[in-house]
Structure 1
Amino acid sequence: MKTIEQINEKILKGEAVVLTAEEVVKMAKQEGVKEVAKKVDVVTTATFAPMCSSGAFVNFGHTKPPMRMEKIEIEGVEVYGGLAAVDGYIGATQESKQDKTFGGAHIIELLIRGENLKLNAEGKGTDCYPRKQFEGYINKQTINDFFMFNPRNAYQNYSAATNSSDRTIYTYMGKLLPRFGNVTYSTSGELSPLLKDPKMLTIGLGTKIFLCGSEGYVVWPGTQFRNDVKVNEHGIPISPARTLVVIGDAKRMSPRYLRAAYFKNYGVTLFVGIGVPIPVLNEEIAYFVSKSNEEITTEVRDYGKPGRPVLRLVSYAELKSGWIEIDGKRVKTSSISSMTMAREIADVLKKWIVEGRFLLTKPVKFFDEHRSVKSLEEIKEAERFKIQEPTCVNCGMCVGVCMYDALKMVNDVLKFEEDACVRCGLCSDVCPVGVKLPPL
């Protein structure tokens, strides 16, 4: 048994044994899992794959005079402005109105590269934010804040895709040729972060990671996180399962480790480079980090049929061989993620740790509660929601406008003296939640 604190001490002393996920697989085959548990302190994992559920928050800084930006575009790509005066969220898959092959992912990459981009913003104009329009250029140095916040990254396994229909189809898994013309897959197999710690025994809230060339953090279970899936004989999920929400300072990121992309007839997406260090705390963790491509399996699903039925299970060793068999037919396979970049990320993270530049963090919360994924079900002819009668939240805004001292804050609780009230309506006019005084 080891602790993260003990491993960090070894890192700082230059004594930690750090291997990439591929290196530890080779070691386990030669020396066994017990030796891995005894000798290895950290295993670095990585993936560089399209992750649609990604994006970035930006604070543009206030204009002169100030404005509340409500309709925002950068180079023709819509930025969500329903946050605050000059905050916006750039979704990676948001497409340009002029060019569907260009979108939010490109804006994020270009900002990280340091390019100047045209910002157009509009607002209705208010007393405190009188300006109604802005047109000018921004870059990552001129904006206040620019941080990546990705709601669903680093999928734990993902189904391979093929197509039995008679037509070519275009998907987020790439171009699928008719009549089982090809198979595509995305997960980096034995390098993949959540396949090396399938129970997430070391990964949770606060885990420090490599994110696009800089430090990032795991901040929550990702959307569509599920841990109710079937596992193979080695205890590894065979279908899409856990995911991560990750965050990091985009101003510090490197354009080498993310890349905007367009999948024909599907849309814009973003290749995201993620590396996760797995501390080898015990034999159970050593067992999982030692699992090879031969021992990690996924489903092959038919995207040419409704419901995408499972055709067979396949190991990543088979997928990486270049060919698999489906219904007696030899079908060519290809990855839509980059193993070259994944290996580079695992090596870079290893180097950071060995040099003492990257210490491990102990999660403050593990994501071990039961979670499943629901499909959207339309409720027809449902009873519409009812507006509830507003109730006081004790903010005190009304006290400052009451000229008759009918409203007072006593020990931070609002007190109303009805006898002093003349029903002038000033309090109702400023109440932010809509409380109205009853008539006399």
Structure 2
Amino acid sequence: MRKINNLQLQAQRLAEEFRGLPPGFSKYDLCDAITAAQGWLGVNQDCISLLIFLIKRTRDEDWMPGRHPLVAWNRFLICHHFDWSDDKLGRVEKDLSEAQLISFVDSSNCKRFMNRNNDGSISDDSAGISLAPCGVRALEIQALAHSVNEEGRALFDTYGEIFAIRGELQRLTALRELPHELVQLAKAKIKELPQRRTRKHALSYLRSMLAVSNEMVKNLNRFLGLENDTQQQPASAEAALPESAPASSSKSVSHAAARCGRDASPAKPRPQYRKFAEHKSPDSNFPKDDSKIIRILEASPDVFKAYLEQEHDRLGQRNWQSSLQKALERYAGDLSLHASLIQRMSALHGYENALQAVLAVGHMSEKGAHISHPAAYAMSVAKQRNRVLQ
């Protein structure tokens, strides 16, 4: 007779509690749940492969109440199927039994055989491997599989948020008014963020990394004056630095802000685009419809509005055409769009449509969308003559 330990004895007692699989739960659902929860069952991949192999060799009616899921496959055939030795098969079966996923039903001569009654049920004198412990734990295994799937979806979504915040940091580092020390800090954070989805990072680690990155983006936007809440804007670059980063002198920040045409304590961008529409010259090549150009500029991203205000302050109120053109070229450069593309779209589809196309790419970038070919996307938007950005 086989010598059994306490864990194997518990598996045999667990098999006696089998009353069939839960309603609506088939043996194939059990296989799927085992595959998903294999990392939490305390066995290796060989054990999982053998367990699923044995489950699939049973009949559906063997898992009904009052029946017994028993497998009496010859050990030689199982070893031949997996290319295992007989000793390895014995070790795998022992591990499954100690994990309370199978139990042994031995005969007096330790041989495996199975007879079925006329109604298809397995006779009581059969001997082999009982899968009843696995059936008793079906709901437990299903719950483990559900938690594993939920964690996988959470990891996938968290990685997506990290990729979006990584793109936002890259966009901020390209802004000219951002001081050099903050640019270097943001680039260092970009290097820390993962570039692709891998399984080596835990969910808690990714979420903590995402929280720190979100806080950095929020502080940088406040420093640039792009936050709606102006009461909490930092007065200097020290507020945009995380606690672990060394504080920079306010004097250097003031010089950097002065070079960008901004104060050290930036205010919320003003709607200068209304002044542009009011001072168009009669021979202007820009759109003549004031309300339409105002709607386009009102719907533009905050970064573009900030560029527009800076160029307006630098060039003066009468040079509104040059201000708009310079701001558009700067913003297009942040989106990897060349100035020649704007000229080509303006020549083919008009300046208004070219403006809408560039701003459309900016809106998609702010939403975290990944555009493989920004130039092609902008050109396709420019072809839609009457499109107005929402």
Query: TM-score of the superposition, structure 2-length normalised?
Result: 0.20
The structure with the greater share of residues assigned to helix is 2
| Greater fraction strand | 1
Which structure exhibits the higher relative contact order, with contacts defined as CA atoms closer than 8 Å and separated by 6 or more residues? 1
